[in-house]
């Protein structure tokens, strides 16, 4: 599949590689906050709410660590609009949707055990799935959005049903941030040809995500980065792009086990 683009280009702006680097930084901070601080240093997986409050009252250091962990969680959500945007751009530019879908699906599968280890301190967690599964579902959604791209009441109704189905699949599978990733992807798809307005679409999507998690207030700021997107791919390292997430998860998960 190949889609001809009429993208508004900004000379010396921010290319896709730059957007991805910032998304990786935001994501890494969230993983460290959850795995190292919450699970490793604070052992929040084993504490009740009352026990945590008592620990915070007894130790200013615990209060400081909890504050840092919460800040890291807010920063982590800043990655969501950027990855959703990159997914939309990747879908529009790919020459093979099937290969792109396989890569995203493979990344989701490979990341699952490291995700469970970093976020839950265990290898298997049947109640939660890593966010890449949300991107996988969002990518399937984009395929059908493109298939029914023509304007009209019928196609609009079909796309709403497709969005609802993606939304429900994320909820049923317990995909972390999945609902927000699907919502952001759908909104950024609507603004795909809006040039300078893409940042506004990202901002609106982030604001809507606060309905599901107040942490997404921070992601509103990262959407501003999309304003300077110049439509260029930039220098990409495919191995780094797809290996970074599971590698960081695995490293943080192992460290958290040693310090926990």
3-state secondary structure of 61: helix
Strand runs (DSSP E) across the chain, as ranges? none
What is this structure's pTM? Answer: 0.89
For residues 45 and 178, what is the distance between their CA atoms, to the nearest angstrom?
Answer: 22
Query: Given this model, what pLDDT does residue 109 score?
Result: 97
* Dihedral (Cα; 157, 99, 205, 125), 10-degree rounding: 100
3-state secondary structure of 215: helix
* Paired tokens of 126: 């049947």
According to DSSP, residue 231 is labeled S
Spell out the residues 6+ positions from residue 155 whose beta carbon is closer than 8 angstroms to its own: 148, 149
For the segment 148-207, what is each residue's pLDDT rounded down to a tens digit? 988 889 999 999 999 999 999 999 999 999 999 999 999 999 998 877 788 899 999 999
For residues 93 and 96, what is the distance between their CA atoms, to the nearest angstrom?
Answer: 9
pLDDT band at 247 (very low <50, low <70, confident <90, very high): very high
139-143, 145-149, 195-199: which range is least confident on average?
195-199
Among 180, 99, 88, residue whose Cα is nearest residue 134 = 180
């Amino acid at each position: 599949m190949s889609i001809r683009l009429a993208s508004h280009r900004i000379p010396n702006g921010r290319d896709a590689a730059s957007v991805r680097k910032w998304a990786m930084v935001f994501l890494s901070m969230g993983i460290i906050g959850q795995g190292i601080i919450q699970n490793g240093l604070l052992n929040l997986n084993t504490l009740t709410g009352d026990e945590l409050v008592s620990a915070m009252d007894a130790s200013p250091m615990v209060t400081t660590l909890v504050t840092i962990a919460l800040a890291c969680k807010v920063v982590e959500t800043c990655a969501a609009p950027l990855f959703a945007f990159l997914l939309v751009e990747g879908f529009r530019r790919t020459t093979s949707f099937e290969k792109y879908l396989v890569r995203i699906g493979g990344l989701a599968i490979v990341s699952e055990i490291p995700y469970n280890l970093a976020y839950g301190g265990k290898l298997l967690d049947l109640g939660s799935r890593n966010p890449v599964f949300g991107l996988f579902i969002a990518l399937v959604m984009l395929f059908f959005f493109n298939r029914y791209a023509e304007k009209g009441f019928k196609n609009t109704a079909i796309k709403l049903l497709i969005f609802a189905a993606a939304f429900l699949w994320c909820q049923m599978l317990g995909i972390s941030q999945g609902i927000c990733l699907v919502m952001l992807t759908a909104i950024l798809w609507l603004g795909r040809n809006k040039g300078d307005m893409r940042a506004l679409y990202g901002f609106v999507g982030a604001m809507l995500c606060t309905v599901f998690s107040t942490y997404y207030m921070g992601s509103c700021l990262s959407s501003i980065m999309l304003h300077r997107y110049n439509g260029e791919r930039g220098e990409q390292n495919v191995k780094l792009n797809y290996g970074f997430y599971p590698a960081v998860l695995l490293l943080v998960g192992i460290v958290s086990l040693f310090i926990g």
